[in-house]
């Protein structure tokens, strides 16, 4: 490890909290870090589809997909998306429903809606060319400082730092930062470290190498310090703090949730309702679905009939059990009790103004649905 001056050792991080070590301020330390990190990345980088392109649009798509989604799950989605929408213009010209259909199963559908909206901004305000100016990029819907820096550095080698979950943890450990990395002070400190570490050239490769190291070796639990190319530069390791700094937060307690969905049949078609802006799964279609209140008094059938009428204006009869699906979303374990029912009559138009459609089962495949909606649609089509 390069020697540090005593002045350097006494320096405190910008937020004033006690960092274990300020070695990162030493130019030799930073040069050693870059050299070792890049050499390791050349050997260890995973061969991922978005790493084979410098097209800012495709890099942007991958960055949006990778928010909240692990790499292995994102790869097939990215390949399908890139094949169907190979350019910003192709995405901008598409219907939102088609975009959501391709996103189906990835979750966090707001990402897809914003990506689509942003593609339209690029088409209409930037002539279809992804802007190079970071301020213009950050004005795009759904693009924050991290995404803008990642796309511009990787596509154009522009000197912008990045900070996301993996690099946040890695930089906190390298500097033995013991505050909360997600606090305003922690963010300010870690962004300033990311900026300082950035090389003059090759920012995109460097940023990707940081993320790769954070995700592959400097993991939230049990970081693999023995295999780490920068272990001798790492303050957390030297101070025995690698396991405590930025360790994964304790998983929150699991909550059990009970919901019901109703497949309403009318002359060989089933009822779908569109989820409106501001609702969970906005923009997707769904079978009428409701939470079942804890300690529901009285009959579930009567309660579901009442809910269907309230939400859709449609009265149902002959409600019968169809299937029970179990799935988990974040900390919720959901039991979805699915029922079938027959259309009886239409009352006044739904108070909610919800968009409804009667769909033949064979056409359900064309509608964007959430994960359980899709499972249910397959069972309906096979029934
Ligand atoms: S030595 Fe360990 S804690 Fe430090 S950067 Fe490497 S993997 Fe992370």
Fold of 6-238: Endonuclease III; domain 1 (1.10.340)
Q: Which sequence spans correspond to the domains of the chain? A: 6-238, 255-382
Residue 15 has pLDDT above 50, yes or no: no
| 43 CA to centre of ligand 1 in angstroms | 18
* Pocket around ligand 1 at a 6 A CB cut-off: 170, 173-174, 217-218, 223-225, 228, 230-231, 234, 236-237, 242
- To test ligand 1's pocket by mutation, which of 209, 236, 245 has the most ligand atoms within 8 angstroms of CB? 236
Ligand 1 atom nearest to 169, measured from its CA: 8
Q: How confident is the model at residue 297 (pLDDT cuts 50, 70, 90)?
A: low
Distance CA 267, CA 215 (A): 52
Average pLDDT over residues 92-102: 97
- To test ligand 1's pocket by mutation, which of 36, 37, 174 has the most ligand atoms within 8 angstroms of CB? 174
Residue 17 has pLDDT above 50, yes or no: no
| 228 CA to centre of ligand 1 in angstroms | 6
Residue 349 has pLDDT above 60, yes or no: no
Q: Which residue's structure tokens are 């108070």? A: 351
The secondary element (H helix, E strand) that includes residue 140 is: none
Residue-wise pLDDT tens digits, 24-50: 999 999 999 999 999 999 999 999 999
| 225 CA to centre of ligand 1 in angstroms | 5
Partners of 317 in the β-ladder: 342
Distance CA 247, CA 44 (A): 24
Token representation of residue 136 = 């213009």
Average pLDDT over residues 137-160: 97
Cβ count near 253 (within 10 Å): 6
Q: How confident is the model at residue 68 (pLDDT cuts 50, 70, 90)?
A: confident
Q: Among all residues, which ones are annotated catalytic?
A: 63
DSSP state of 267: T
Can you give the pLDDT at residue 347?
72
104 close to 368: Cβ distance less than 8 angstroms: yes
CATH code for residues 255-382: 3.90.79.10
Ligand 1 atom nearest to 230, measured from its CA: 6
Percent of the chain clearing pLDDT 90 (strictly above): 80
Token representation of residue 44 = 């260890």
Q: Do 255-382 and 6-238 have the same topology in CATH?
A: no
Distance CA 214, CA 245 (A): 13
DSSP state of 349: P
Residue 350 has pLDDT above 70, yes or no: no
Residue-wise pLDDT tens digits, 210-263: 999 999 999 999 999 999 999 999 999 999 999 989 877 778 899 999 999 999
Can you give the pLDDT at residue 352?
60
Cβ count near 362 (within 10 Å): 9
Distance CA 146, CA 231 (A): 26
Residue 197 has pLDDT above 60, yes or no: yes
Please state the pTM of the whole predicted model: 0.86
| 124 CA to centre of ligand 1 in angstroms | 45
- To test ligand 1's pocket by mutation, which of 20, 214, 234 has the most ligand atoms within 8 angstroms of CB? 234
């Amino acid at each position: 490890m390069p020697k540090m001056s005593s002045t350097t050792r006494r320096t405190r991080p910008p937020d004033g909290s006690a960092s274990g070590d300020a070695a990162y301020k030493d130019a030799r330390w930073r040069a050693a870090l870059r050299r070792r990190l890049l050499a390791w990345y050349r050997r260890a980088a995973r061969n991922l589809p978005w790493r084979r392109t410098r097209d800012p649009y495709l890099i942007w798509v991958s960055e949006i997909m990778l928010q909240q989604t692990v790499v292995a799950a994102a790869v097939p989605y990215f390949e399908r998306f890139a094949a169907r929408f190979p350019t910003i213009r192709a995405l901008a010209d598409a219907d939102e429903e088609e975009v959501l259909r391709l996103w189906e199963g990835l979750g966090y559908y707001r990402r897809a809606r914003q990506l689509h909206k942003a593609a339209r901004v690029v088409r209409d305000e930037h002539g279809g060319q992804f802007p190079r100016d970071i301020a213009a990029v950050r004005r795009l819907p759904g693009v924050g400082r991290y995404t803008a820096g990642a796309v511009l550095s990787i596509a154009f080698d522009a000197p912008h730092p990045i900070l996301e979950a993996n690099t946040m943890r890695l930089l906190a450990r390298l500097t033995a930062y013991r505050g909360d990395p997600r606090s305003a002070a922690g963010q300010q400190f870690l962004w300033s470290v990311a900026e300082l570490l950035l090389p003059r050239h090759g920012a995109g490769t460097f940023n990707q190498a940081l993320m790769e190291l954070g995700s592959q070796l400097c993991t939230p639990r049990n970081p693999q310090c023995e295999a780490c190319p920068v272990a001798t530069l790492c303050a957390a390791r030297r101070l025995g703090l690698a396991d405590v700094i930025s360790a994964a937060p304790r998983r929150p307690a699991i909550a059990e949730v009970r919901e019901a969905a109703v497949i309403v049949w009318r002359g060989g078609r089933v009822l779908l309702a569109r989820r409106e802006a501001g609702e969970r799964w906005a923009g997707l279609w769904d079978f009428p679905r409701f939470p079942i209140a804890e300690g529901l008094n009285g009959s579930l059938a009567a309660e579901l009939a009442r809910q269907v009428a309230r939400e859709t204006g449609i009265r149902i009869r002959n409600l019968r059990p169809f299937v029970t699906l179990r799935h988990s979303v974040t900390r919720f374990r959901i039991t979805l009790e699915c029922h079938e029912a027959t259309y009886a009559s239409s009352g006044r138009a739904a108070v909610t103004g919800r968009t409804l459609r009667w769909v033949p089962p064979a056409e359900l495949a064309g509608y964007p649905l959430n994960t359980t909606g899709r499972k249910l649609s397959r069972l309906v089509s096979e029934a």
